[in-house]
Amino acid sequence: MRWSRAYIPTLRDDPTDAEAISHKLLVRGGFIRQLMAGSYSLLPLGKRVADKVIGIIRQEIEAIGGVEFELPVVHPGEVWKRTGRWDSVGDELLRIKDRRGADLALALTHEEIFTLHAGELASYRDLPQLWYHFQTKFRDEPRAKGGLLRVREFVMKDSYSFDLDTAGLDVQFDRHFEAYKNVFRRIGTDAVSVEASSGVMGGTESIEFMVRSDSGEDDIAICPACDYAANTEKATSALPAFGDQVWKAPPERFPTPGIRTIAALQEAEGFASAPQQIKTLAYVIDGQMTLLLLRGDHELMEQKLIDGTGTADIRPAHPEEIRRALGADPGSLGAVGVSHLPVIADPALEGRTNMVTGANEDDWHLRGVDVARDIEVSRWLDLRKVKAGEACPRCGAALALDRVIEVGHIFKLGTKYTEALGVTVLDPDGIERLVVMGSYGIGIGRAVAAAVEANHDESGIAWPAAIAPYEAVVTVVKADDPATLAAADEIYRGLLAAGVDVIINDRDERPGVKFADAELIGFPYRVTVGPRGLADGEVEVMRRRGRDKSTLPVGEAVAVVAAAITAERTL
């Protein structure tokens, strides 16, 4: 490709709405342009990178037995209703109607449709199967931001395994785990695998692949002393026993005028430190007002509540609902004596005594609360968000929290979808068995952005050779000098013949502009051809990563650069 014929609209300044490094550099480098919030066009350079990421994923999935499909983006609403996700997914699923009034959905994922196709499987002899595709998804994100990191429309590789039993699922899950590790290594990201919430996908187990980045929206708890790592939506920690003072009398009311927060009560009452308080939150779960109890210094992790209750129909109660149900405003709430509402309590409160909580009367609290004696707990459920420094649940070392980008997610779905859609096969004994499924996803645009987050410097992107838009650029210092242009063109053609993905910068621009664009875009190698060097029979070669420069005889440049790129492709 000749730069003079290409479309590469680089920019000197960062876009004003960009915060993530990848967002800034992909816009400035001419890879993407925003159409509307959460929707981006891939320009030619961006398309080349995305296609190379897709190529790597295709290689790794087919290496474990995957066969490729291409399924529709618009789905009949009826199939989503049969699995229950028409109602349970929420506003992320875009629901539309056709001209006949039929319900349709824009795909946010393809479990339902792949499962329908699996209905043609008849016998255990047809299993195992591993099907995949690359297809557009649409998720009506409430806070699309970060360029390609959180969008509404995107391409995903999703694959689906079908097995006779959970042992077969385990094999396919483990194979995907290794394939995903290979993918993320090859695209230049150091992805960490962590335990994760299955969310709206459902199933018994899931693992996310995370790349550390300040631009991420997730946190993981990770142990430096063992292999424990989990998304904070799933993470747990070991808490030391809390030494409560003895209080044998019934709970005692005491006035707390104007006090509405844990911190204010701790400051006003020396005996009511945050760990000695019960935090009471009022939520509406499936239409039912429910009280959630946590230790005063702990935060609610809402995803744990969703996972534990099995419903996404969850929201904080409105103040008027709370007063109608309990007779007090938030900040004065408690569960002592409450029998008309469900109470879900975090295990950190189990066995606690001499606690302080709201009295369900504004400006009054209770002390001396014995959780087992005074509160009717309907269910114990891990609700709290893990904090940095808490003890690892496996080895006891202090946990660290890292900000991350999710780049992949694999799920053991089990029979959730095959049961809903009636997909069975005959086993060796002629008995009908529900097919056991797994689901495995990688977002292409997010993988591209994560690679930029992991491979950049102050001058721009430093792509790994395997996914760079071009592996090398031949920069012509003086495009109006026939001898320089001819020598550069010979090197360009030699690299093409050697199998290098190369572009020649033959624009009539100042050398500084050409060099700056090359570093911003991030070509792994730059070969600079200028009159001065040619006079000595030399050209300059620069490796983008580290900016290492060397001079080579003109006749050796093609072989040296081609060999270096070939070596880097296989890293």
pLDDT > 60? residue 361 = yes
Whichever domain contains 563, its CATH number is 3.40.50.800
Q: Are 152 and 291 part of one and the same domain?
A: no
Q: Are 413 and 508 part of one and the same domain?
A: no
Q: Provide the pLDDT confidence category of residue 553 given band limits of 50, 70 and 90.
A: very high
What pLDDT shows up at residue 198? 63
Q: How many domains does the chain have?
A: 3
* Contacts with 472 (C-beta within 8 Å, 6 or more apart), sequence order: 495, 500, 501, 502, 503, 523, 524, 525, 526, 527, 561, 565
Continuous H helices in 395-500: 416-421, 444-454, 482-497
pLDDT > 80? residue 494 = yes
Q: Are 366 and 448 part of one and the same domain?
A: no
What pLDDT shows up at residue 199? 61
Torsion (CA) 321, 325, 327, 333 in degrees, nearest 10: -90
What pLDDT shows up at residue 243? 84
pLDDT > 60? residue 551 = yes
Q: Are 444 and 477 part of one and the same domain?
A: no
- 136: left (phi > 0), else alpha (psi -120 to 50), else beta? beta
Q: Are 60 and 180 part of one and the same domain?
A: yes
DSSP 226: S
Q: State both tokens at 40.
A: 């981006």
Least confident stretch, 34-38, 218-222, 241-245, 441-445: 241-245
Map residue 49 onto helix, strand or coil: helix
What pLDDT shows up at residue 204? 65
**DSSP string across 277-302:** BEEEEEEEETTEEEEEEEETT--B-H
Q: Are 430 and 524 part of one and the same domain?
A: no
Q: Are 469 and 526 part of one and the same domain?
A: yes
* Contacts with 488 (C-beta within 8 Å, 6 or more apart), sequence order: 474, 475, 476, 504, 506, 527, 529
DSSP 147: G
Does 396 reside within a domain? no
State the residue for tokens 């992909």: 26
Dist. CA 334–CA 327, nearest whole Å: 11
Burial of 136 (0-12, 13-18, 19+ CB in 10 A): exposed
Whichever domain contains 116, its CATH number is 3.30.930.10
What pLDDT shows up at residue 271? 79
Of the residues 341, 364, 380, the one at which a domain ends: 380
Does 403 reside within a domain? no
Per-residue pLDDT tens digits for 273-310: 999 999 999 999 999 999 999 999 999 999 999 989 98
Q: Are 145 and 67 part of one and the same domain?
A: yes
Dist. CA 420–CA 91, nearest whole Å: 22
pLDDT > 70? residue 95 = yes
pLDDT > 80? residue 29 = yes
Task: Return the percentage of the chain with pLDDT > 90, whole number.
Answer: 90
Does 478 reside within a domain? yes
Q: What is the pTM of this model?
A: 0.89
What pLDDT shows up at residue 241? 87
Asked if 29 and 522 touch (Cβ cutoff 8 Å), the reply is yes
Dist. CA 526–CA 547, nearest whole Å: 10
Does 12 reside within a domain? no
User: What is the extent of the structural domain holding 58?
Assistant: 31-73+107-205+409-453
Q: Are 164 and 275 part of one and the same domain?
A: no
pLDDT > 60? residue 235 = yes
E strand map for 339-399: 343-345, 355-358, 364-369, 379-380
Q: What share of the chain is helix, strand, coil (3-state, %, to 5)?
A: 30, 30, 40
How many Å is the maximal CA-CA distance in the chain?
98
Does 87 reside within a domain? no
Map residue 29 onto helix, strand or coil: coil
pLDDT > 60? residue 201 = no
CA atoms within 13 A on the CB side of 498: 21
pLDDT > 80? residue 38 = yes
What pLDDT shows up at residue 200? 52
Asked if 22 and 525 touch (Cβ cutoff 8 Å), the reply is no
* Contacts with 456 (C-beta within 8 Å, 6 or more apart), sequence order: 21, 22, 25, 462, 522
Burial of 450 (0-12, 13-18, 19+ CB in 10 A): buried
Q: Are 36 and 177 part of one and the same domain?
A: yes
User: In Å, what is the CA distance from 244 to each residue of 277, 333, 351, 446?
Assistant: 11, 22, 10, 48
pLDDT > 70? residue 461 = yes
Q: Are 297 and 346 part of one and the same domain?
A: yes
Per-residue pLDDT tens digits for 377-421: 999 999 999 999 999 999 999 999 999 999 999 999 999 999 999
Burial of 240 (0-12, 13-18, 19+ CB in 10 A): exposed
Q: State both tokens at 330.
A: 């938030």
Residue 26 backbone phi and psi in degrees, to 5: -70, -35
What pLDDT shows up at residue 274? 94
pLDDT > 90? residue 250 = yes
What pLDDT shows up at residue 166? 96
- The amino acid at 24: K
What mean pLDDT value characterizes the chain?
94
Map residue 204 onto helix, strand or coil: coil
Does 166 reside within a domain? yes
What pLDDT shows up at residue 477? 95
Whichever domain contains 331, its CATH number is 3.90.960.10
pLDDT > 60? residue 9 = yes
Dist. CA 454–CA 404, nearest whole Å: 11
Least confident stretch, 88-102, 191-205, 362-376: 191-205
Q: Are 164 and 60 part of one and the same domain?
A: yes
Q: Provide the pLDDT confidence category of residue 555 given band limits of 50, 70 and 90.
A: very high
Does 247 reside within a domain? no
